[in-house]
Amino acid sequence: MEEIFGNKLTASEARKSLKAAKGYKKSCPDDADVDYKIRIRKNKSLYDRLGIMDLRLEGESEAEFDREKGIVVSNIRMGFGHYRISMAMASAAKALGYTPYWLDLNSFPKTAATKIITKQNNLYSLGSRLSKNPIFNKLVWEPVNYTGFKKLTYNASDLETSKLMAPVYQDIPKEIPVIATHAWPAQSALDGGMKRVIEAIPDNWPMALHLAEGAIHTVQTHNSYLGYRVLNGFYGKKVLNPIPGDQIYYTGHYIDDELVKNIEADCKRRMDRLNGKKPVRFLLTIGGAGAQADIFEAILKYLMPAVKKGRASVMVNVGDYRNVWDELLSKVDGLKDVSTEHFENFSEAAGFADDALDGDMTGVHAFYHKNIFEAVYITNLLMRACDCLITKP
């Protein structure tokens, strides 16, 4: 990669970007010539609620692409955040009468795309867990996230590597819009010949990591718009050529339609509970790396007296990390006695969330689902019934 948005890299930097891609090419299968055929199937967990159709490489297809009202929501299963944003996109698409096709590049084990993303995800998850150590956080984790991902040279390496993920897109009609919730799906969609690509940038801190030249970029805040627009600090103190104005837009926050349209009604319920001296409802949701056990432990220990007195109620979603709940039970005295487990039964858990909107709630309620869609989306349902949400940024 020699230049990005007209900003030229040095010959050494260009060679280094190629070297990173070559490393993945050696360790991952070269599937550039593989004819991947897409199968379309209803998502077992969220079709009824969000209309999601899964794009898969195995099994039988249940439908054809809707070329008029179809939208591909492309993401990576790397933590819960990208899935959560993707669900917001699918929710908005359904509300506007479109069909959301779910393409998770990290769900096809035989492809180079999944193998590359899995390696990156393992590194990120390890770093996230190690960041609990103040020394590691200060010397390694913060500099990587604060400055490493910000560099234009980092994006150059990703742009070369993303070409290896492109084969998954070859069987998708090129005119169907793609909304990607991470740079890799956006970059690989462009490499795969998709003509209408949007990258919904997840991070408000401007980073070159999230650039996909040729796509429309969207951001959630005014300050992030300015930072991304002028590529502020992406190459040290050098003033760079900006992202063209027709390739970046401020859209506001990515929030599910069902959350937005119920804001006023749900807030009225919160005020009614407050005025009626009902228990304050806390919702604790874990991140995709499962690294918040210590924080949850401290919060639960602090809240336990209030829970036992009926002044507070707590919902804990451990996602797909059953071990985190087991750890909490062993460390928080009396937790088991006041807890109800809603495990591996999404229909029951969703019913609880619906009933909690206008019903009473006491004690502690724990939620665990092995299915990633259920693990993430149950938080959305519980959010409407909570007063205070405690989660990762």
| Pairing mode, strands 39-42 and 53-56 | antiparallel
How confident is the model at residue 289, as a pLDDT? 61
Q: Quick one: which of 360, 367, 364 has its CA closest to 304? A: 364
Amino acid at 151: K
Question: Looking at the structure, do residues 220 and 297 belong to the same domain, yes or no?
Answer: no
Q: In what order do the strands lie in the sheet with 388-390?
A: 339-343, 364-368, 312-317, 280-285, 388-390
Indicate the range of 24-28, 83-87, 257-261 predicted with least confidence: 24-28
The helix or strand, by DSSP H or E, that contains position 104, with its residue range, turns out to be strand 99-104
Within 8 A by CB and 6+ apart from 265, the residues are none
Residue 352 in any domain: the answer is yes
Please indicate, yes or no, whether residues 281 and 242 belong to a single structural domain of this protein: no
Going by C-alpha positions, the residue among 28, 56, 57 that lies closest to residue 43 is 56
Contacts of 288 (CB under 8 A, 6+ apart): 78, 79, 80, 81, 125, 319
Residue 257 in any domain: the answer is no
pLDDT beyond 70 at 205: yes
Let me know whether 322 and 279 are in one domain: yes
**Residue 255 maps to a domain:** no
Confirm whether 256 is domain-assigned.
Answer: no
Q: How many domains does the chain have?
A: 2
For residue 26, pLDDT over 90 is answered with no
Distances (CA, A) of 284 to 242, 316, 351: 40, 5, 19
DSSP 290: -
pLDDT in the model for residue 1: 66
Judge if 83 and 230 occupy the same domain: yes
Q: What is the pLDDT of residue 317?
A: 96
280 phi/psi in degrees, rounded to 5:
-70, 130
Whether the predicted pLDDT of 38 surpasses 90: yes
Distance CA 303, CA 9 (A): 54
Residue 246 shares a structural domain with residue 267: no
Mean of pLDDT values over 302-328: 96
- Domain containing 131 equals 3-250
Q: Are residues 245 and 352 in the same domain?
A: no
Indicate whether this model's pTM tops 0.85.
Answer: yes
Q: What is the pLDDT of residues 250-296, one digit of tens each?
A: 999 999 999 999 999 999 999 999 999 999 999 999 876 666 888 99
Are 309 and 233 contained in the same domain?
A: no
Do residues 55 and 39 touch, judged by C-beta distance below 8 A? yes
Long-range contacts at 130-135 (CB < 8 A, ≥ 24 apart): 131/291, 132/291, 132/294
pLDDT of residue 238: 93
Indicate if the pLDDT at residue 186 is higher than 90: yes
Structure tokens at 93: 């698409």
Strand stretches in 137-185, DSSP E: 178-180
Residues 346 and 210 in one domain: no
Q: Are residues 291 and 379 in the same domain?
A: yes
Last residue in a domain, options 218, 250, 282: 250
Angle (CA) 323 256 165, round 5°? 70
Radius of gyration of the chain (CA): 22
Q: Which amino acid is at 236?
A: G
pLDDT of residue 141: 86
Element spanning 200, H or E: strand 197-200
Helices and strands of the chain, counted as H and E runs: 15, 16
Residue 69 belongs to a domain: yes
Tell me which residue of 85, 96, 119 sits closest to 198, measured CA to CA.
Answer: 85
Contact 203/221 with Cβ under 8 angstroms? Answer: no
Q: Is 66 helix (H, G, I), strand (E, B) or coil?
A: coil
Same domain, 214 and 266: no
Supply angle C-alpha 382, 324, 349, rounded to 5.
30
What share of the chain in percent tops pLDDT 70?
A: 98
Task: Over range 26-49, report the average pLDDT.
Answer: 90
Distance of alpha carbon 329 from alpha carbon 307, whole angstroms: 15
**Looking at the domain assignment, is residue 146 inside a domain?**
yes
Q: Of 250, 277, 307, which marks where a domain is finished?
A: 250
User: What separation, in Å, do the N-terminal and C-terminal C-alpha atoms of the chain show?
Assistant: 32
Task: Report yes or no: 212 and 190 within 8 Å, Cβ to Cβ.
Answer: yes
> What's the CA gap between 252 and 41, in Å, rounded?
31
Mean of pLDDT values over 294-305:
96
Record the tokens describing residue 266, joined without a space. 């749900």
CB-CB neighbours of 191 under 10 Å = 19
Beta bridge partners of 317: 285, 367
Q: Give the per-residue pLDDT at 132.
A: 82
The answer to the question of residue 96 being in a domain is: yes
90 domain-assigned:
yes
pLDDT in tens, 111-153: 999 998 888 888 887 887 888 889 999 999 888 888 888 999 8
Average pLDDT over residues 343-353: 97
Q: Say whether pLDDT at 393 is over 70.
A: no
Q: Which helix (H) or strand (E) holds 284?
A: strand 280-285
373 and 290, same domain (yes or no) = yes
**Where is the domain boundary, 221, 250, 279?**
250
- Same domain? For 266 and 352 the reply is yes
For the residues of 47-78, what is the DSSP string, one character each?
HHHH--EEEESSS-------TTTEEEEEE--S
